[in-house]
Structures are given as C-alpha cells and as structure tokens.
A and B are shown apart, each in its own frame.
Chain A
Amino acid sequence: MPESNVLPLKPKDSQKAGAGFLISVDALGYRRGGRSLLDAVSFELGRDPGITVLLGPNGAGKSLLLRLIGGLIRPDSGTIRFSPDFRGPIGMVFQKPVLLRRSVRANLLHALAIARIPRRERTGILARLLVEADLTHCAESPARALSGGEQQRLAMARALVGDPVLLLLDEPTASLDPAATAAFEALVRKVAGEGARILLVTHDLHQARRIADDVLFLHKGRICEHTPAATFFRAPASGEADAYCKGTLLT
C-alpha cells in the first residue's frame, strides 16, 4: 500500500462511488514554478483487468501523473483513492530501467528481499518470474550486460514481485527496437491476462492502437477524454485527441 496520498475509503463512500473502481483520481492538481502541470485531473480505473493507455504529447504531464499515482510524489491538491480492499504493492517500470550491478537472478532476489518475501518462497517465485519474462536463459548474466529489451523485461519481472494488482509503466518501450517492443508488449498483455490492471504511458499512437483496452488522453495537464480504445481510434470525442491522432496537435 503506498504510504502517501492514500485516503482509506469509508464503506459509505465506496457505495456512493460504485463498487467498480480500483483507483479513483479526483481533481488532482500539481504546480511547479507558477505553472500548472496537472489541473483538475479526475478519472477512475476499473477493477477488471486490462490495459489503460495514458496517451498524450510530450510534456502533457503523463509521467508526472504516473508518479503521483505511484506515490513517488505528492499532489498539491486533489486525492487519489484506492478501493478499500486494494492490497499489495504497485509495480512500476520506468523508461530507463535502473538495474543493480549484479546478475539477473540477484536483481530479482534483491526485489524479493526488499518486499520481505519469506526466504523459503523466494526460489519458487524467482523461477516463475524468470519464465514469465522469458529470462531463464540469462539468469546468471550481469543485468547491465543484457540487451535493452531484456533489461526492460527484467524491470517488469521485478515490478511483478508481490503480485501487484496495479502496474504503472512509464514509456517502457521508448528506447527499444520493434522486436523488443513486441516482446515487451506481449509480456504486458500476458500480465494483464493474468488479472492485473495496467496503466501504460506512451506518446506512441501505434502502440496505443496495438495494446489499449481504453485510452486516457492527457493534454496540457488536463484529461481530455477517457474512452474505450475502439471508440477513441474511430471517433475521438475531444478535438485535442482528434488533432493528435491526425498529427496536427500543437503543444
């Protein structure tokens, strides 16, 4: 459970809000240096598994929003509420994987130790994670000697420690080639298929088209729309999203 900006939900609130959400973001605001970077951001993520793509141009505030949800920074205003039965960690993967200067296996064991997983369970979970991320062949290699795609899959495997219900991925494929991107997207789909809700930040329309179940479109710190992917790409509700899809959005 993230320690910051979490308001435990009272039972009557959850009835009011409907039983369906995993997290509910309400009127979130973040300002720095007199500039409003996020303004009145509100949306809900359902508790059903799936992939939500947080789409928007550079500088829209996508990564910032992800860090606020992950509890790495605190909002200036607004709240982020988790469903009352929200359990366990939030997995995070960043654009540039920060891996320990140790082997793949040692990186995962370190994450298991940080998460205080009992020692006797670690070997089993480790083997499962290596298979899940397709890293069994390089388990003993130094993590920083892996290819970019393998490094990012290792970061993903590490984020899966503790079986998070919610995963926050910040442009995880921005510096990967097409093959590595495809492999990473396959892993993301697999994890979503196993029951996780994934919030993935990207500015890549093609990627959004490939993997999104629903799309949150963010522009200049405001949510322009939150629609199912099929609707979004057929007929975006907002003028900004429409312009972005056509490549004519001015930032």
Chain B
Amino acid sequence: MLFYSQLLEIVALSLEVSLVAVMLAALIGIPLGALLAIGRFPGRTALIVLVNALMGLPPVVVGLGLYLLLSRSGPLGILQLLYTPTAMIIAQTILVTPIIASFSHQIFADLHREYDEMLRAMRASRWQTILTLIREARHALITAILAGLGRALSEIGAVMIVGGNINHATRVMTTAIALETSKGNLRLAVSLGLILLALSFAINLALHFLRSRLERAAHA
C-alpha cells in the first residue's frame, strides 16, 4: 500500500499549498484590484502596469528570488523557511496575487463605470461604493480565482526551488511527476499526471456550476 499512501500524501500537500496560496492571493489581490479601479492616488497607473506585467512572472525567477531571500545566508535566512511548505505557499502567493489583482481590477473598473453615476446620485459613501461593487462582482471574481488556482496547481519552477521536492515533506504533484519521469517510474508519474488533470477539471467544474447558479439567481 506504499504506492497509495505516498500518492495521497503528495496530492494532499499539493492541494494544501495551492489552496492556501490562492486564498491568501485573493485576500490581497481582490482589495488591491478594487483599489486600483476605484481609488485615485499618485502612481496608480504605474501600479496597474506593474501588476499586469507581473502576471507573466516566470515561476523559476520567483523561486530563485525567494531562495536568495530565504537561504541560510540570505536576509530572511533566520526564519529557516527554505524547503518548507510555508516557503512554497509564499512563492505561489507571489505568483497568483498579480493574476487575481489584474482580473479584479478589470472586473471592478467595468462595474464602477456602470454603477458610478447611480451610486453618486444615491450619495453613497466611498465605503458603501466599494462594498456594493464587491457584492456585485461576486460571480465574476470566481473567474479571477479560478485563473489563479490554475496557475498555482500547474506551476513547478517555484515550488521546486524553494520546496526542494523532499519526500514526505515538500513533494507535490508537479515536482513528483518531474522526478518520477526522470527516474523512469512512469506508473507513478502517469497516475499523478491523471490525478492533477482530474483535480483541475473537478475544481473548474465545481466553480463553473457555482458561478452559473449565482448568475441565474441574479440574472446578471
């Protein structure tokens, strides 16, 4: 039963790392997107360009940067986070945040254009405006989160470098597939590959149904 327990362990860690990373990225990215869409402050345009550019951040480069920060001789080496799931979560959060922020920015900008005059005619405060837009954006934000989750689950470069692909500690699906393939252990590699695919489909399907149910209820 070694095969199955090992498989389960890898799948569980993959999900844990990516889901936590996407949750953190959503907590940062959605308010950031709203701020970029609604706020008016110096440097806003530059920040929008930066966030959009960071969507294409190469995972390997993020991994390398984080490695330099977290390695024993790096500035954050004292935290001893290198080769831990925490480091992997940080890496994926960095990768996913710009994606969610950029999608959210677009979603909030469109909604703001549509609702701005109405909300100002109602004398809504800035706070009431933001809360209204977040509530109205709820269906569309699911798409932003999905895009982020896709990135996190499929990414290998960053988790490989800061996680180290250590068995029973930091081995996730993507790193395991790479390793098992190079070892010629194709049975485990293919199984993992299929599970990764199935998981992606399942998550997308679930969120798709959630979104269309919400939209039917609101007739958006």
Contacts and interface: CB of A to CB of B under 8 A. Distances in A.
Majority SS of interface residues in chain B? helix
Contacts of A72: 117, 120-121
Interface residues of A, number: 24
Nearest to A93: B121
Interface string A73-115: 0000000000000000110101000101110000000110111
B121 A142 contact: no
Given A72-B121, A89-B123, A114-B124, A100 B132 contact: yes
B136 interface: yes
A149 interface: no
A115 B122 CA distance: 7
Interface stretch (B187-195, B198-206, B212-220): B212-220
Contacts of A143: 219
B12 interface: no
A70 interface: yes
Contacts of B220: 101, 144
Nearest to A111: B122
Given A98-B115, A111-B122, A114-B122, A142 B128 contact: no
A15 B209 CA distance: 65
Nearest to A158: B122
Interface string A119-160: 000000000000000000000001111000000000000110
A114 B121 CA distance: 11
Nearest to A4: B120
B118 interface: yes
Contacts of A144: 218-220
Counting chain B residues whose Cβ lies within 8 A of the other chain, the interface size class is 10 to 19
Contacts of B115: 98
Interface centre among B115, B123, B124, B139 (most CB of A within 10 A): B123
Interface in B89-145: 114-115, 117-124, 128, 132, 135-136, 139
Given A72-B117, A114-B128, A102 B218 contact: yes
Contact of B218 (A89, A101, A161): A101
Given A100-B136, A101-B136, A145 B219 contact: yes
A94 B136 contact: no
Nearest to A102: B218
B123 A114 contact: yes
Nearest to A1: B123
Nearest to B117: A72
Interface in A53-80: 70, 72
A155 B10 CA distance: 54
B219 A101 contact: yes
22 contacts: A72-B121, A89-B122, A90-B121, A94-B117, A94-B118, A94-B121, A98-B114, A98-B117, A101-B136, A101-B139, A101-B218, A101-B220, A102-B218, A110-B132, A113-B128, A114-B122, A114-B128, A115-B122, A142-B217, A143-B219, A144-B220, A159-B121
The 8 closest A-B pairs by CB, nearest first: A142-B219, A101-B218, A92-B121, A98-B118, A145-B219, A101-B220, A144-B219, A114-B124
Given A3-B123, A92-B121, A94-B117, 13 more contacts: A2-B123, A70-B121, A72-B120, A89-B123, A100-B135, A101-B139, A101-B219, A113-B128, A114-B122, A114-B123, A115-B122, A142-B217, A144-B220
